Amino acid sequence: MTSLPSHEKLKEMTLTNVTVGYDGGAIVKEASFQLLEGQIGCLLGPSGCGKSTLLRAIAGFEPLMTGEIKIDGKIISSPSITINPEERHIGMVFQDIALFPHLTIAQNIAFGLTAWPKKAANERVDYLLDLVGLSGFQARYPHSLSGGQQQRVALARAMAPKPKLLLMDEPFSGLDAKLREELVPDIREILQHEKMSALLVTHDQMEAFAMADQVSVMDAGEIHQTGSPYEVYHQPETRFVASFIGHGDFLPATVCGPDCVHSDLGNIHGDLDHGFADNTDVDLLIRPDDILHDDDSEFVGVIVSKWFRGSHFLYRVKLSSGKVVYCFASSHHNHHVGQEIGLTVHLDHLVMFPR
Pick from 223, 237, 211: nearest CA to 42: 211
Is 199 inside any structural domain?
yes
Is 255 inside any structural domain?
yes
pLDDT over 80 at 25, yes or no: yes
Does 27 share its domain with 60? yes
According to DSSP, the residues that pair with 12 across neighbouring strands are: 36
> One-letter amino acid identity for 295?
D
Does 72 share its domain with 169? yes
Which among 182, 210, 242 is the end of a domain?
A: 242
The reported pLDDT for the residue numbered 139 is 95
Is 102 inside any structural domain?
no
Does 251 share its domain with 338? yes
Is 146 inside any structural domain?
no
pLDDT over 70 at 5, yes or no: no
* CATH number, position 21: 3.40.50.300
Which among 224, 242, 260 is the end of a domain?
A: 242
Does 350 share its domain with 309? yes
Is 98 inside any structural domain?
no
Does 276 share its domain with 330? yes
Does 186 share its domain with 311? no
Which among 227, 242, 257 is the end of a domain?
A: 242
Reported confidence tier of residue 207, pLDDT bands at 50, 70, 90: very high
Which range has the worst mean pLDDT, 21-25, 29-33, 268-272, 344-348?
268-272
pLDDT over 60 at 3, yes or no: no
Q: If you average pLDDT over residues 131-159, what whole number do you get?
A: 92
Does 189 share its domain with 333? no
**CB contact at 8 A, 278 and 334:** no
The reported pLDDT for the residue numbered 1 is 39
Does 51 share its domain with 186? yes
Q: What residues make up the domain containing 167?
A: 12-89+163-242
Average pLDDT, the chain: 91
* CATH number, position 263: 2.40.50.140
Q: If you average pLDDT over residues 108-121, what whole number do you get?
A: 92
Tally of structural domains, the chain:
2
The reported pLDDT for the residue numbered 271 is 78
pLDDT over 60 at 241, yes or no: yes
**How far apart, in Å, are the Cα atoms of 262 and each of 212, 274, 344, 348?**
36, 15, 15, 14
Pick from 15, 8, 32, 12: nearest CA to 73: 12
Does 204 share its domain with 265? no
Q: If you average pLDDT over residues 231-240, what whole number do you get?
A: 93
Is 112 inside any structural domain?
no
Is 345 inside any structural domain?
yes
Q: If you average pLDDT over residues 127-131, what whole number do you get?
A: 92
3-state secondary structure at position 33: strand
**How far apart, in Å, are the Cα atoms of 336 and each of 171, 299, 303, 322, 340?**
40, 18, 7, 19, 9
Reported confidence tier of residue 269, pLDDT bands at 50, 70, 90: confident
Q: If you average pLDDT over residues 179-188, what whole number do you get?
A: 86
Pick from 48, 43, 104: nearest CA to 226: 43
Does 185 share its domain with 46? yes
Using one digit for the tens of pLDDT, what is the confidence trace for 278-292? 899 999 999 888 988
The reported pLDDT for the residue numbered 265 is 87
The reported pLDDT for the residue numbered 223 is 98
Is 127 inside any structural domain?
no
Does 80 share its domain with 18? yes
Percent of the chain at pLDDT above 90? 66
Which range has the worst mean pLDDT, 188-192, 251-255, 331-335?
331-335
According to DSSP, the residues that pair with 300 across neighbouring strands are: 342
Q: If you average pLDDT over residues 129-150, what whole number do you get?
A: 92
Does 76 share its domain with 172? yes
Q: In terms of DSSP bridges, do strands 352-354 and 281-286 run parallel, antiparallel, or are they unpaired?
A: antiparallel
